[in-house]
Amino acid sequence: MGIRIQNYEWTLKGNGAYVATDYPQALIQNSIFVGPYGNRIEIPPFVKETEFVVIHHFGCSDGILAKPTESGGSLTSWKPNGFVQIVINTTGYYQDPQNTFSGGISGGAAPYPWTITDVPPHYELLPPIYILPEQTWDFRFTMMNDLRDYCANAGITEIPETTILAQCFVQYYLFDGPDALICHQLLELGIPITVDNVEWYKRLLLRSRGLDTQTWEYYLSAMQAYRDRDEYHEKYGSRTRKA
Amino acid sequence: MSLRRQAYEWRNIVPTGTKVSNTGHPILTYDAAGNVQATVQQIDPDRPIDIMIGGIGNNLEEPAELRANQFIVIDSVACWPISSAVNLRIGTTRYFQDPSGIPSAGMTGAAMPFLPSDATQQFTGHYNVLIPPIYVLPGQSWGIEYTATETLNAGSPVPTSDSEIARAYVRYLLIDGADMLVAMKLLESNIPVSSETIQWYKRTLIRHSLMADVASEESLGEVLADLERRLI
């Protein structure tokens, strides 16, 4: 399985009886992969040396005002006013016009989920982001509506598991094995890395009947050079060869 | 990361008692009844507000100005509500002007709406992208000016829905480092600057470099052929 389209969805749900530390603080960026809130994975995203990742789509919960609803101390709905930043190794992808690290893209610009009544997202990740082997990557979600403060003010005692507080979604292509090598080749040639282009390059390789064209050309030129040198030595009676 | 798709979003909502948040989007807090402890700032008609340093809503600490190694291509702007408009400013020049040649309020929210999630009317807009896009060159300052065509949020009330919040949005391609040099080269050649053309130009450079390598080897052979040979 050389080329796979992958999805990751992060959901922050209620955790039953309310404990403030179960939920993220406002303005603090948390990883959607290995952060302390919501569903998580054990190991931070890391591209192995036989892999290549192309991130091309993401989104997060829409809405600015939280519009909380509660009944009897139980919080039943909440909008996070969220932003998503992408971090590769230690570098943030999004910066504001004054060239400083920003919160990223809002759920209003890149909404998830996207319903039939929504307009198309304003933000598109074009060109996509390439994550090279040995690089780590992360999506950091920031909630700008202060959930902890509201829960303290409103005397919230429970956030049921049916209450979805925030969501994020990431879609990416995972190339591995020989396809990852092709991705590197395309990268060196300055060709955009897409599924189509990788398939095209594979067809090109197949047309060359399995021969590595670069190696073959190098081999031919090396053989030609060797033959030239041989002729030279034959002509001028070299002492270094055919002793 | 030399080609990055960036976006900047402005809203006129700030915590109660303040008018501007110079550190970006503010934290919004809520009282026990679920009302936000923030206000949407009144925007007077026909008075352009810079969405980055205009003193209303979320702002930056310094104006947007490109560094010597940066080049941006602005390809989308949008605003809300529909009775508002956005204009782009590069240096001191406004991009949109009326047919008499005088700078206008710009692209209206009805033409390029930045819809809130709870909008009762779904405007699709006339445009998704600006064609041709707008280039901002290294060293140039730029900004987006938001103008309301009628008074918005009179009396700076506490908002009860997202639709009441005035918003502006700009999306651009940030090109920096070596790619900025490629972008300038494309500009000199009158080729549209986009991520596709930059990649195309780099491919061309690579191809030319390969051909140049081959050519140099051939020409080296010709040069060597004319030289006197040295017996070993």
pLDDT score of B102: 93
Cα B36 from Cα B43, distance rounded (Å): 19
- Asked if B52 and A83 come within 8 Å (Cβ–Cβ), the reply is no
- Asked if A64 and B165 come within 8 Å (Cβ–Cβ), the reply is yes
User: What are B60-114's pLDDT values in tens digits?
Assistant: 999 999 999 999 999 999 999 999 999 999 999 999 999 999 999 999 999 999 9
Residue B221 has pLDDT above 90, yes or no: no
Cis-peptide, bond into residue A24, ω within 30° of zero:
no
Please report which residue ranges of chain A form alpha helices under DSSP H. 147-154, 178-189, 195-207, 213-236
- Asked if B24 and A88 come within 8 Å (Cβ–Cβ), the reply is no
Q: What are the two backbone dihedrals, phi and then psi, of residue A124, each rounded to the nearest 5 degrees? A: -130, 135
Q: Is the ipTM of this complex over 0.85?
A: yes
Task: Select the more confidently predicted residue: B180 or A232.
Answer: B180
Can you tell me the mean pLDDT for B54-64? 94
Contact in structure between B82 and B108 (CB atoms under 8 Å): yes
User: What are B188-215's pLDDT values in tens digits?
Assistant: 999 999 998 998 898 888 777 766 666 6
- Asked if B30 and A150 come within 8 Å (Cβ–Cβ), the reply is yes
pLDDT score of A115: 75
Low-confidence ranges of chain A (pLDDT < 70): 1, 117-119, 208-227, 229-230, 233-234, 237-243
pLDDT score of B227: 64
Residue of B nearest to A156 (CA): B32
Cα A38 from Cα A199, distance rounded (Å): 37
Task: Select the more confidently predicted residue: A25 or B127.
Answer: A25
Helical axes B195-226 vs B178-188, angle rounded to 10° = 90
Angle at Cα B24 formed by Cα B29 and Cα B149, nearest 5°?
Answer: 90
Residues 118-177 (B) with a CB less than 8 A from some CB of A? 118, 122-125, 128, 142, 159-162, 165, 167, 169, 171, 174
- Asked if B62 and A98 come within 8 Å (Cβ–Cβ), the reply is yes
pLDDT score of A243: 38
Element (H, E) at A82: strand A82-88
Residue of A nearest to B119 (CA): A118
Cα A230 from Cα A219, distance rounded (Å): 16
Residue of B nearest to A85 (CA): B6
Residue B218 has pLDDT above 60, yes or no: yes
Q: A27 to chain B: which residues are within 8 Å by CB?
A: 27
pLDDT score of A241: 44
